Amino acid sequence: MKIERNSVVSIHYTLKDENGEVIDTSDGQEPLKYLAGANNIVPGLENALFDLEVGAKKEVTVEPSEGYGDYNAELVQKLPKEMFSGIDTIEVGMSFQAPAENGAVHYVEVTKVEDDGVTVDGNHLLAGKTLYFSVSIEDVREATETEIAHGHVH
């Protein structure tokens, strides 16, 4: 069976950066399962895997626009420390939820702590980066009606 919209796909993958450093991998773990066409993985990778079958292996380069987006400097801001009241110690690398104007929740990461404020970055860690995937297709099956209705694998 070929990967097509509404297929449940199991893959093993290794994700590397531009220097060949491993960022993430499924090696030694269960394969990653996703519902094809439901935006469960970055678009550039998903689109490159359509029409492949079990046993196929593929190297995929995903540009930022088809991955986690371009880096947006407007998502970096320095906030007064008072906005973090109730938190004893604020450290670089901590993540927080921030309300968005439309009622959604954004995640921000602390990138700098100074006496006069805390700098947070709302960009995804991989925003602006080209992603290099090595993928092997482990399984492909038809999705159930429930999986299709819910938009993810059960």
127-141 pLDDT, tens per residue?
A: 999 999 999 999 999
What are the sequence ranges of the domains in the chain?
Answer: 7-67+126-145, 73-121
pLDDT confidence band for 97 (50 / 70 / 90):
confident
Between CA 95 and CA 121 the distance in angstroms is 9
pLDDT of residue 113: 95
What fold, for 7-67+126-145? Chitinase A; domain 3 (3.10.50)
pLDDT confidence band for 85 (50 / 70 / 90):
confident
What fold, for 73-121? Thrombin, subunit H (2.40.10)
Task: Kindly report whether the global pTM for this prediction surpasses the value 0.85.
Answer: no
pLDDT confidence band for 101 (50 / 70 / 90):
confident
* Residues 122/75, Cβ–Cβ less than 8 Å: yes
CB-CB neighbours of 43 under 10 Å? 12
